[in-house]
Amino acid sequence: MKTARRITVTLLATVALAACSSDPDDDDDGGNAVPSSWIRGAYSSSGTGYVDRTDPVSKVSDEIHDNTRAVDRLADGKMAFLRYRDDIVAISPHAGGRGSLIEIDDYRTGYSRWRTHLGSWPDPNSASFRGGGPGSGK
């Protein structure tokens, strides 16, 4: 009987922990999450992200934003950036010269990676940074 209880407790703990975890680009209804499932379905997977082999950066940016409105949008030269609650979607010209590359990063990683393009967005490493989106407790 003790073994059955241990197994039950272990399974319940595993389920509870899995429910509490979140993928940085998780689709949920908890306020402005990046539309990662939609992006996976709409664009082809590549080694570094997703690819639209025909549409330019501006059109892909509009498509993603039209599906799920970003907190903020920014176009810098040939690139476009969409800011969601905890994530950044970066759209750049595809290496082959046609189409667009779509990359999703959590806000801190994306900001570090594309800092030079995101001058007006809050720096997650500053003492005054309160997070990327709406919510209580800030």
pLDDT in tens, 54-86: 999 999 999 999 999 999 999 988 999 999 999
Assigned domain for 94 exists = yes
DSSP letters of 8-54?
Answer: HHHHHHHHHHHHH---TT---TTTT---HHHHHHHSEE-SSSEEESS
Structural domain contains residue 103 = yes
Cα 2 to chain centroid distance, Å, stands at 44
CB 88 within 8 A of CB 123: no
Q: How far is the CA of 60 from the CAs of 30, 41, 47, 82, in angstroms? A: 24, 14, 18, 11
137 belongs to a structural domain: no
pLDDT of residue 2: 64
Task: Calculate the average pLDDT of the chain.
Answer: 79
Is 107 a member of any domain? yes
Is residue 110 domain-resident?
A: yes
Alpha-helical runs (H) found in 21-136? 36-42, 57-67, 107-114
Structure confidence by residue, pLDDT tens digits, 19-61: 433 444 444 445 689 999 999 999 999 988 999 999 999 999 9
**Is 16 part of a structural domain of the chain?**
no
In this prediction, residues 117-125 reach a mean pLDDT of: 88
From CA 92, how far away is CA 51, in angstroms rounded?
10
In a domain, 39, yes or no: yes
- Residue 39: give the domain boundaries: 32-117
R_g of the chain computed on alpha carbons: 18
Q: How many domains does the chain have?
A: 1
In a domain, 53, yes or no: yes
Query: CA–CA separation, 50 vs 27, rounded Å?
Result: 16
